[in-house]
Structure 1
Amino acid sequence: MGGPTRYRRLLLAVVLAVTGVATGVAGQAGADERIVGGSRASIADHSYMVYLATVDGFQYCGGSLVAEDKVITAAHCVAGERPADITVVAGREDKQSETGLISPVASLWVHPDFTDVRDGADVAVLTLREPLPYRPIERAGADDAALYEAGKPGLILGWGRTTAGGEPSRFLLGAEVPLVADADCANSYSTFKAESMICAGLPEGGVDSCQGDSGGPLVVEGVLVGITSWGEGCALAGKPGVYTRLMAYAAVLDEQV
């Protein structure tokens, strides 16, 4: 990560795609490494979990299958990109394996209000060329405020870095983090907007999403409630992860999904 604001997209992917560095670099993280306090997660248990890759196969963001041909991810993962430049990989726990399916993207929708992660509206929908045979996840609706109560355990998933500035993970990793009260998150971040964002993390830090996990899910009680978006550092005390509050965009997503 580094810098005052962490964008959870793995920006290195762009460099590697341009320079032609082999995509195997992303798979050098060992099986015993952790997603900043997390552990290995089974793709069979989270069949909705997908990752976004360059045409060269380099994973740089995550996403959630919410219909057989629709993926929800972060706007900052795809804003300014062409559908032809993005592939979606599903059913693959180990990035070095050839399991699962790879789907081209037919079209993409980025929330029209998105300009910067700190301003909100960090949500996008990818429409796939072919439906995927994996179970989608239910997403939070406009009446699901109870899922956002402070203290509720949230599940985060991804193939991102296991430490700030470290290597991305070869395997799908997961961790549990409690939702943070809006007032506490506002104390951590002056740009936090409760109407469009939700925070999750431990006060002492130690468990968090990190760079490369952008667009991935925040799940509460089996429901997709958030999208990995931004923060400061990785797993720092007093600096929880910030996620797009999916409930706030329920109406517009109903139109897109």
Structure 2
Amino acid sequence: MQLRLTNIICCNMFLILLVATCLFGVQASEPNLNNRIIGGDYANIYDAPHTAAILLDKESIGSFWPVCTGIVIGVRTILTAAQCTNGTYGSQWLVRAGTPYHNSGGQLRFASYLVQHPDFNSNYDNDISIIVVQQDFILGAALAIGTLPNEGEIVPGGAIGVLSGFGPIFEESVFGNHMYIVKVPIINQEECVAAYTSYNPVTDNMICAGDLENGGIGPCQEDLGGPLVVNNVIVGITSWSLGCARPKYPGVWTRVSKYRAWIDENLV
């Protein structure tokens, strides 16, 4: 999932300003079956039953392509990144959950409407959105509701997070067919702020993870909107980074605990 200081969805319909230095972005294109999370392994759906594939019909012609990952947080509610939904409307989205494949199995649900955070901006602050689907998901071992943190809950640096999603194995490639999963250490907030001083502000609404020294583990384009989990709690929503899992530049997630009240207001 290559993060770009461009619109995360690399389509003209999205309104985020293009910048020469790229943070990872999402591209609605035909999937490459060899792509995955950087440094990850094949995910068993029972290891991440809250993770869903998010598909977009960008031309509203009934042709859906995977562009993002999402998080099941209610029987009809999917949490994702505002970068995914920006400039779109509900009927353009389709959610597939309960399967490690974006193109087969599981349960399919058409979206009813979107709730995008009103303060989302081009610096990726408040990068959070909700997709409400038309019918309830049937919950079970392969499809479960993710546990949300308490409002204001802090995740300490050094804690181990788990990232899941459908993103590529390297930069400049496209959506993977199979879900992948990888462990990433949480980065101290001050270190993350310092890493991105010259590129994009890291705010208190964000949380960072990755291997600062070596790189090699982290999200890429279509992992966007997916979960970062610490101790079985959804602490982050995949948002941005400079490139994909590069040394010195960790992945950045929306800090879910900052938005618990907003999420509860829109939960279905």
TM-score (norm 2): 0.84
**Equivalence for 1:22:** none
Percent of residue pairs bearing the same amino acid type = 29
1:11-36 per-position Cα deviation (integer Å, ceiling 9, x unaligned): 2x1xx4xxxxxxxx41531xxx6521
Structure 2 distance, partners of 1:122, 1:143, is: 17
Give 1:135 deviation, angstroms: 1.4
Bigger share in helix: 1
SS in 1 for 2:260: helix
Task: Kindly indicate whether residue 165 of structure 2 is the aligned counterpart of residue 158 of structure 1.
Answer: yes
Give 1:166 deviation, angstroms: 2.6
**Equivalence for 2:17:** none
1:156-206 per-position Cα deviation (integer Å, ceiling 9, x unaligned): 111111101134322100100000001100111123334100110001101
**Equivalence for 2:22:** 5
**Equivalence for 1:36:** 38
Task: Kindly indicate whether residue 179 of structure 2 is the aligned counterpart of residue 172 of structure 1.
Answer: yes
Task: Kindly indicate whether residue 77 of structure 2 is the aligned counterpart of residue 70 of structure 1.
Answer: yes
Structure 2 distance, partners of 1:53, 1:92, is: 14
**Equivalence for 2:219:** 209
Aligned residue-pair number: 238
CA-atom RMSD in angstroms: 1.6
Contact between 1:104 and 1:128, CA under 8 Å: does it hold in 2?
Answer: yes
Q: How does 1:68-107 map to 2 (within 5 A)?
A: 68-97=75-104, 99-107=105-113
SS in 2 for 1:165: coil
SS in 2 for 1:253: helix
**Equivalence for 1:20:** none
**Equivalence for 1:240:** 250
Q: Comparing 54-63 with 243-252, which one deviates more in the overlay?
A: 54-63
Q: How does 1:99-248 map to 2 (within 5 A)?
A: 99-116=105-122, 118-133=123-138, 134-145=143-154, 148-190=155-197, 191-203=200-212, 204-248=214-258
Structure 2 distance, partners of 1:4, 1:208, is: 19
Letter in 2 for 1:231: S
Give 1:119 deviation, angstroms: 4.5
Give 1:149 deviation, angstroms: 0.3
TM-score (norm 1): 0.88
SS in 1 for 2:46: coil
Letter in 1 for 2:208: C
Distance 1:53 1:119, change over 3 A: closer
Task: Kindly indicate whether residue 264 of structure 2 is the aligned counterpart of residue 254 of structure 1.
Answer: yes
Letter in 2 for 1:128: V
Structure 1 distance, partners of 2:156, 2:96, is: 32
Letter in 2 for 1:43: I
Contact between 1:185 and 1:192, CA under 8 Å: does it hold in 2?
Answer: no
Structure 2 distance, partners of 1:226, 1:149, is: 13
Give 1:129 deviation, angstroms: 0.5
Runs of 4+ in structure 1 off by over 6 angstroms are none
Distance 1:253 1:242, change over 3 A: same
Distance 1:124 1:96, change over 3 A: closer
Structure 2 distance, partners of 1:27, 1:5, is: 21
* Structure 1 residue ranges without an equivalent (≥5): 17-24
